[in-house]
Amino acid sequence: MYEEMDKEFVLNTYARNYINFKQGINATLYDDKGRDYIDFTSGIGVSSVGHGNARLANAICEQAKNLIHTSNLYLIEPQAKLAKRLVELSGFDMAVFFGNSGAEANEGAIKIARKYGEKNFDNKKYKIITLENSFHGRTITTVKATGQESFHKSEFSPYPDGFSYDKNIKKIYDSIDDETIAVMIELVQGEGGVQPFDKNEIKELAKYLKDRGLLLIVDEVQTGVYRSGEFLATNLYDIEPDIITLAKGLAGGVPIGAVMTKHKDIFVPGDHGSTFGGNFLSTRAGVEVINILESYKNSGLLDETFLYFEEKLPMICESYPNFFTGHVGLGLMRGFRCKDAETLTKLVNACFDEGLLVLKAGKNTLRMLPPITISKDEINEGFKRMTSALDKLS
C-alpha cells in the first residue's frame, strides 16, 4: 500500500528500495515484518548516536513539549549553547551560523568567501577552486561547486560561474589567479570514494593560502562530529581553516547545518538568514548529540570501536581478492575498493539480501558509515553478513 502511495504522490528523485523500517536500536533496524538489518549507513552518516537513542529522544521530547520554533528574531538558548560547544571543541576562535543541511552550510561558506573577497582586495576576488570527485551539495550553487561532471546536468543550467576543479591538491597552485578567493575541500572525499588526502599536502596548501590572504574552506559535512575519530577531521590534519561546514551527524537525524568561520564580523544583519535554521528543536538535539559523543570519546570507547571496526577490513580484503583491491578511509568512514562498478552493485544488493545495509561511493567503492556508537556485537554481525553475501556471490 505505502509503496503505491509513494510512487503516486512523492516526486521520483530516489531509486528507492521499498523496505518499511519501523524501529531501530543503535545500529540495528527492524522492518514491518520483524526482520532485522545491521546498519552500516546510519542514514548516510546522519544517525551518529544510533537509532532509538534514549538520551537523544528524551531531549527532543522535552524540548518539543516546551518550544520547537520561535524564529531567529529572538534569542534561542540551545542555539547559543550549541555554538559555544562547537567552537570550544573545534579549538578555533570562530562564530557559527546554523542552517538546515550540508548544502545550506556550504552555501553560507561560499557567501562568506565572496564577501571577504569583495571587502579585502582592490580587485574583486570571487572564484572558488574545488577538487574533482568532490561533493558539496545539490542546490544550484553547491552542485556547481561539486567537481563531478555527472552532477552538472544541462537541464538545470545555467549554473553560477566562479568555480573550477583540479585533479589533485598539487594542481591547485597553478589554478589560483587574481580572482581566486578560496579553495574548498573535503579532507576525506565521501561521495567521491572515501578517499583521505595526504596530511602534508593539506598542511602545505593551508600555509600557501594563508600567506596570500586567501581562504581555506573545509567541508566537514560528513567527516565532522567525531566521524574521523576526533571532533573534526581538521584536528587530525593539524590545520586552521578559515571556514568549516558541518551537518549530517550533528543532531543525530534532526535536520541541521552549520558554517563556522574565524571571520566573525564578515556578516551584518540582513546578509544571511534561515527561517528554520538553528531553531530550538534542532539545536537542542545537537547539544545532546555533542554531549553523548564527547563522553564516548573521553571514555575511550570511541577509539576502541574504531580500532575494532578497522581490524576487520584487511581480513575481508585478504579473504576475497576476487572482489576487492583494498580498503580506504579513516575513523568510521570506511570503504572497500571493488574490482569494478558491476561488482560493487552486485555486492550492495547481496549485502541487503543478507540483512546488511551498505552504500555506494564513487565508481567502485563500497562505503560504510555506521553509527559512531555501534557495538562490537553489531560490527561482528555486520561483517558476518557481508561474508555470507560474498560467499554466495563467489
How high is the pLDDT of residue 191?
81
What pLDDT score does 1 carry? 84
User: What is the model's pLDDT at position 77?
Assistant: 98
Q: Kindly state the average pLDDT of the residues 6-32.
A: 95
Q: What mean pLDDT is reported for the chain? A: 96
pLDDT value of residue 355: 98
**24-56 pLDDT, tens digit each:** 999 999 999 999 999 999 999 999 999 999 999
Q: Whose grid coordinates read 516546551?
A: 66
Residue 274 in 3-state DSSP? coil
pLDDT band at 158 (very low <50, low <70, confident <90, very high): very high
> Does the pTM of the predicted model rise above 0.85?
yes
Contact (CB, 8 A) for 391 and 384: no
pLDDT in the model for residue 385: 98
**Bridge partners for 130 per DSSP:** 165
The pLDDT-based confidence of 365 (bands split at 50, 70, 90) is very high
249-296 pLDDT, tens digit each: 999 999 999 999 999 999 999 999 999 999 999 999 999 999 999 999
Tell me the C-alpha distance between 288 and 283, whole Å. Answer: 9
Q: Which domains does the chain have, with CATH numbers?
A: 57-298 (3.40.640.10)
Beta strands at 243-246 and 215-219: parallel, antiparallel or unpaired: parallel
DSSP H or E stretch at residue 216: strand 215-219
Angle value at C-alpha 217, between 214 and 222, nearest 5 degrees: 170
The pLDDT of residue 226: 98
Provide the grid cell at 33.
Answer: 515484518
Q: Which three cell numbers stand for residue 224?
A: 565532522
